[in-house]
């Protein structure tokens, strides 16, 4: 029983549930309302979407397992009380777990790619596990590139929802007239724009959190001769960089809310209040916590606030669905 608990901790079950939650919101609160508003009731079949969920979550779980496999020495310094690999699970057991989880995820993803006839999705399904392997074994210890890889993987877990929906639509039309009608409509553009904006938000906030994590873990990283941003350019300059990312995120959120999205009567006020108190104020608090942080636990608190911001950001999809219904 204890080993099962350790496996769940190893694969970060809370993060996996968060990924499931985000993807379900993207499908049910963004993709489906856009399709129904455009009078396209042909949404992705439930079994295809479930397989997509399984694919992303199992690949992510495998990525967490291999990450801890390569991070034993660093975790022994940064998080000795939370060390699992070599303490309750052997390295061969963790490697086997990674292989099994990743193979299941790839297999489920390949089935989805075949059903919706998307070669691009198939490439991504094979590409991401390899990327996560090299991230854990090498790239995460290098300057910036490790942060970008994790941020891209996070963004892709959102964007694949749009990819599967558009691929299913395109494969559904067997006649040229229907396919041309779909190509001429703004439906595909709307799907990619709406979900793409959530994907961009996931990319930026994940990058913010990853650099805050590097700030938290710099003692162990320095001991293992890693080349993360705080070690290469110093703590102050790293804080400046994160501040710029936070400012960019806030600016893009304001642009989307005030300059990009035409909301029906009454919903503009709702979205503005949600943006202000749900996202902009927490981002400002995150900025304050970042610059007043002095010890590892301070950066951990900033990380937790960033997680909250990510959750509030994706739950904006509920507001989006309500506005779409009102149009």
Mean pLDDT score of the chain? 87
pLDDT digits (tens, 9 = 90+) for 170-215: 777 654 445 455 555 678 888 899 999 999 999 999 999 999 999 9
In terms of DSSP H, where are the helices of the chain?
Answer: 2-10, 13-25, 32-37, 46-70, 72-78, 91-116, 119-137, 145-172, 176-184, 187-216, 218-223, 229-233, 235-255, 267-273, 281-292, 296-326
Burial classification of residue 78, based on how many CB atoms lie within 10 Å of its CB (0-12 exposed, 13-18 middle, 19 or more buried): buried
pLDDT digits (tens, 9 = 90+) for 10-27: 889 999 999 999 999 999
Residue 53: which domain range?
2-326
Per-residue pLDDT band for 239 (boundaries 50, 70, 90) equals very high
Q: Distance between CA 254 and CA 205 in Å, rounded? A: 15
Give me the DSSP letters along 149-174. Answer: HHHHHHHHHHHHHHHHHHHHHHHH--
Q: Quick one: pLDDT at residue 183?
A: 55
Q: Quick one: pLDDT at residue 39?
A: 59
Looking at the structure of the chain, the number of domains it has is 1
Burial classification of residue 108, based on how many CB atoms lie within 10 Å of its CB (0-12 exposed, 13-18 middle, 19 or more buried): buried
- Name every residue whose Cβ is closer than 8 Å to that of residue 88 and which is 6 or more positions away in sequence: 2, 3, 6
Q: pTM to 2 decimals?
A: 0.91
């Amino acid at each position: 029983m204890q080993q099962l608990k350790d496996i769940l901790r190893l694969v970060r079950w809370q993060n996996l549930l968060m990924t499931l939650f985000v993807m379900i919101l993207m499908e049910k609160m963004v993709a489906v309302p856009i399709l129904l508003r455009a009078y396209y009731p042909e949404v992705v079949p439930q079994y295809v979407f479930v397989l997509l969920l399984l694919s992303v979550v199992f690949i992510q779980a495998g990525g967490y397992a291999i990450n801890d496999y390569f991070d034993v020495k660093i975790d022994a310094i940064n998080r000795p009380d939370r060390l699992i690999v070599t303490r309750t699970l052997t390295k061969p057991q963790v490697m086997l777990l990674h292989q099994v989880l990743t193979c299941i995820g790839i297999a489920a993803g390949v089935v989805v790619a075949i059903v919706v006839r998307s070669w691009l999705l198939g490439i991504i399904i094979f590409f991401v596990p390899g990327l996560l392997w090299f991230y854990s074994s090498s790239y995460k210890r290098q300057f910036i590139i490790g942060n970008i890889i994790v941020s891209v993987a996070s963004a892709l877990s959102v964007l694949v929802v749009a990819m599967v929906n558009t691929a299913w639509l395109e494969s559904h039309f067997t006649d040229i007239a229907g396919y041309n009608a779909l190509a001429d409509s703004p439906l595909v553009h709307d799907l990619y724009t709406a979900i793409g904006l959530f994907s961009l938000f996931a990319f930026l906030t994940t990058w913010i959190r990853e650099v805050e994590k590097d700030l938290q873990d710099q003692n162990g990283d320095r001991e293992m001769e890693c080349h993360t941003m705080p070690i290469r350019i110093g703590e102050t300059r790293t804080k400046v960089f994160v501040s710029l990312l936070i400012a960019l995120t806030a600016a893009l959120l304001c642009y989307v809310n005030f300059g990009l999205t035409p909301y029906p009567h009454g919903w503009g006020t709702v979205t503005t209040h949600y943006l202000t108190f749900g996202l902009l104020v927490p981002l400002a608090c995150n900025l304050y916590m970042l610059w007043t942080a002095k010890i590892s636990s301070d950066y951990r608190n900033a990380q937790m606030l960033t997680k909250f911001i990510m959750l509030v950001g994706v739950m904006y999809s509920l507001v989006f669905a309500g506005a779409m219904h009102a149009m």
